[in-house]
Amino acid sequence: METSKAYPVSLSIDYPDRKLNKLSSFFRVFAAIPILIILSLVIGATYQWGGGGGWSYYYAATAGIVVI
Looking at the predicted structure, is the pLDDT value of residue 41 above 60?
A: yes
pTM over 0.95: no
Q: Residue ranges per domain, the chain? A: 22-67
- CA distances (Å), origin 61, targets 40, 43, 54: 8, 7, 21
First to last CA, the chain: 31
Is 46 within 8 Å of 65 (Cβ atoms)? Answer: no
Question: Average pLDDT for residues 40-64, to the nearest whole number?
Answer: 59
